[in-house]
Amino acid sequence: MPCKKEEHLNNIPLTDPFFNQSGAFDLLLASDIFFNSLKFCHINLEEVPSKRILTKEEKFCEDQFLVTTSRYDKGRFIVELPFKKDTPYLGASRTAAIKHLKQME
């Protein structure tokens, strides 16, 4: 395929510098497929050398995460959020919360 060389593109590195010449190729992927395949790749760094001792509450959260977290086929996570059973009294904050919410609109 004939291609006019554009001078302003000289400094841009191309994945295929011979894109305008016929030749064999291994695989052609659409951009959405390519980037979806990348999100399942994980980079494993070296292990953290010391293990921190967890509090009772942190241990519960870790266990809850392992038991209740799963993943859809498309890569999205399903997470059940734990809530504390004994919540502190918040006082009469409803009016202030509504006022702040309306200010954000």
Confidence of residue 20 (pLDDT cuts 50, 70, 90): confident
3-state secondary structure of 2: coil
**Whole-number Cα distances in Å, 44 to 16, 33, 47, 64:** 29, 23, 8, 24
Residue-wise DSSP of 23-91: ---S----HHHHHHHHTT-----PPPSSPPPPPHHHHHHHHHHHHH-EE-TTS-EE-PPP--SSPPP--
pLDDT in tens, 53-87: 889 989 988 898 889 988 888 888 888 877 777 77
The better pLDDT of the pair 14, 97 is held by: 97
From CA 64, how far away is CA 42, in angstroms rounded?
23
The better pLDDT of the pair 34, 79 is held by: 79
Q: What are the residues whose beta carbons fall under 8 Å from the beta carbon of 1, sequence distance 6 or more?
A: 20
The better pLDDT of the pair 20, 3 is held by: 20
